[in-house]
Chain A
Amino acid sequence: MTVESTAARKTTRRSSGAKRTTGASAGAKKADQAPAGEPELVQLLTPEGERVQHPDYDIDLSAEELRGLYRDMVLTRRFDAEATALQRQGELGLWASLLGQEAAQIGSGRALRDDDYVFPTYREHGVAWCRGVDPTNLLGMFRGVNNGGWDPNSNNFHLYTIVLGSQTLHATGYAMGIAKDGADSAVLAYFGDGASSQGDVNESFVFSAVYNAPVVFFCQNNQWAISEPIEKQTRVPLYQRARGFGFPGVRVDGNDVLACLAVTRSALERARRGEGPTLIEAFTYRMAAHTTSDDPTRYRRDAEREAWEAKDPILRLRAYMENEGHADAAFFEELEAESEALGKHVREVVRAMPVPEHMAMFDHTYADGHALVDEERAQFAAYQASFADGEAE
């Protein structure tokens, strides 16, 4: 697919999108309203749970697959709520909630193959869930018992990256390695609207385009970089930036799990075919604070959140499934019980997380050893031992 043909397809999409909104209810039209001149989002499921068609990104899922996506979103939200509660109870030092972004993360995460590799920022709890990372592992960093918490290679899910945008370059380099290996895996790199301003994100666009690297950039535009609104990051819709770097960009309804799945799957397949990177902008909303240390009441109005609550990703899939008879009451009851069990499990595991053994702070700094580390480790051990001697006396 060339850049030109992508642009041509976008025109098609715009007109088909306009057709779609005529069919939707007035409420949906209002909630989805894009600023003048901005193209519509790729959407397969309206906020009311109505299934709509899209010429480029249609998808056909079984009832079981739909239930799977729903389950993923519900459990991820439950996990996230538990982590927020644990922070409030003093069990975690900080938590970055994904509330509202479940569809963006589960939809994109479920598009991945096992041999693909993910480079997250620090809010991709739903993607981690899709990769099979034990969710309690995500909490070690926030509890302060480690700075990572999992072996990135065991689930092809890299460590969370806090410095904004750094991981998009790691993703690009990893993708360059895949291409060198002659493999057909792909890389999915996550970042946010704030990180889109970072040099590293733009450099990763340059490198991935130049080397035609099999990487998909998944920007969750949740509208806010702590207190800075999207208007403080960009004058053009973020997905349009891709064109200037020479690869396609597409904006998807980030609260529509089906659309996120379809668009990400398509972009990953494109990468596998050796056609290079794609930028996906998932248009979504951070319903909670940036982190538990943040106070969004200082910078945004309740009405904004309420407007986005009407587009809740979980409620819309549930409405669709109920309307179409894809799930019965028993399914929802069982899931509720599973959610509670997950919450309880997370609570228990977090509270039982041991403080690392003191000497561990020296571990793993170097693979080959380092004389200074050895010396300071020995000094620290002797210092600690001096207290033990004192107690013994």
Chain B
Amino acid sequence: MAVQKLPLAKALNESLRKALETDPKVVVMGLDVGKLGGVFRITDGLQKDFGEDRVIDTPLAESGIVGTAIGLALRGYRPVVEIQFDGFVFPAYDQIVTQLAKMRARSLGTVKMPVVIRIPYGGGIGAVEHHSESPESLFAHVAGLKVVTPANSSDAYWMLQQAIQSDDPVIFFEPKRRYWDKGELDTEAIPGELHKARVAREGTDLTLVAYGPMVKTCLEAAAAAAEEGKSVEVVDLRSISPLDFDTIQTSVEKTGRLVVVHEAPVFFGSGAEIAARITERCFYHLEAPVLRVGGYHAPYPPARLEEEYLPGLDRVLDAVDRSLAY
């Protein structure tokens, strides 16, 4: 059956399965990805079906995982690496930034780096520290990397396929608190472009831009705003690097107002980049300054405080009101 309704996590699993079936050079590697199927079960059953040679349990060393993935890529493999949690990627950050991102340019295009690094990211699951962070800006800032994040099951399936097929390194952020959300997936559809934003809901009064876990929150906010007679458009970015400014621009030229929402700290976050560029592009269309809603300049708080830290429905609606008040 081509069309099915399944959770985002399961869509990722199906996507990895398809990639392993399609291309013998694809290998999945990381901590606990084998017998356990990953701590979030994204790789569930893959080692059983594809063997330890394709689905590789690794030593507990993130730099080692990414560094050896680079070596495998140099040998012609297409490694898909799992980093267990967002806050654990930093031991591998050196390999990602100084090696993975630059290898192609340094070789004047003679080597490819088809490495995908999957990172479950973001909060909202009541975890302990280092398990709830949103470090996407740190990767988007680095030339040579691509950074994407799906918000629903269909995108999870297709975007991961496309990331694996890419000859560029892709940091694939998975919204972990949406893993269990069910959505429609058509495995025979023709997918959209990996780096194209999607208008998730049409509206005329204001544009909300979000990605990953915040898309659902923004859709809920738009629905709530509609009850108050406000027409809010929601753009799901899907890709953070490259970033589809054209789609945002089109929306803002229509609505005249923009609020960017993400879980990551606002300061130097992706919202800052979007605000700056859209101000440049749409200065005469804007009825209000671009507003941002996101995390604070504080370490991600203990779980009992995360609802205050994370942008929720009320904070998004508050920003919508402030924008409309100009």
Contact = CB atoms under 8 A, between A and B. Distances in A.
B59 interface: yes
A236 to B, nearest CB: 22
A151 B111 CA distance: 8
A363 B104 CA distance: 10
Contact of A365 (B59, B61, B68, B105): B105
Contacts of B143: 365, 373
A94 B125 CA distance: 51
Interface string B16-38: 00000000000100000000000
A287 interface: no
Nearest to A363: B109
Interface string A147-179: 110011100001101010010111111111110
Interface string A116-156: 00000000000000000000000000000011100111000
Interface in B165-188: 166-168
B104 A366 contact: yes
B299 interface: no
Q: Which of B75, B77, B94, B110 is the most central at the interface, judged by chain A CB atoms within 10 Å of its CB?
A: B75
A176 B68 contact: yes
A166 B241 CA distance: 25
Contacts of B105: 147, 363-365
Contacts, number: 145
A367 B109 contact: yes
B110 A152 contact: yes
Interface string A346-388: 0000000000000000011111101111000000000000000
Contacts of B107: 148, 151-152, 159, 364
Interface in B105-145: 105-113, 143-144
Given A199-B63, A371-B243, A169 B68 contact: yes
A147 B106 contact: yes
Interface in A203-238: 203-204, 206-207, 210
Nearest to B106: A148
A372 B110 CA distance: 22
Contacts of B243: 371-372
A166 B98 contact: yes
A169 B70 contact: yes
Contacts of A148: 106-108
Interface in B6-62: 27, 53, 58-59, 61
Contacts of B59: 203, 206-207, 210
A365 B108 CA distance: 9
A289 to B, nearest CB: 24
A200 interface: yes
A173 B110 contact: no
A207 B168 contact: no
A204 B67 CA distance: 9
Contacts of A370: 146, 241-242
A114 B104 CA distance: 23
A203 B94 contact: no
Contact of A163 (B94, B111, B167): B94
A151 B241 contact: no
Contacts of A38: none
B61 A207 contact: yes
A391 interface: no
A169 B166 contact: no
B317 to A, nearest CB: 32
B270 interface: no
B241 A169 contact: no
Interface in B204-240: none
B137 to A, nearest CB: 14
Contacts of A163: 94, 98-99
A214 to B, nearest CB: 12
Interface of B: 27, 53, 58-59, 61, 63-64, 66-77, 91, 94-95, 98-99, 102-113, 143-144, 146, 166-168, 195, 241-245
Given A173-B67, A363-B108, 5 more contacts: A159-B107, A169-B68, A200-B94, A367-B113, A371-B242
7 contacts: A151-B107, A152-B107, A153-B110, A163-B94, A177-B76, A181-B75, A204-B64
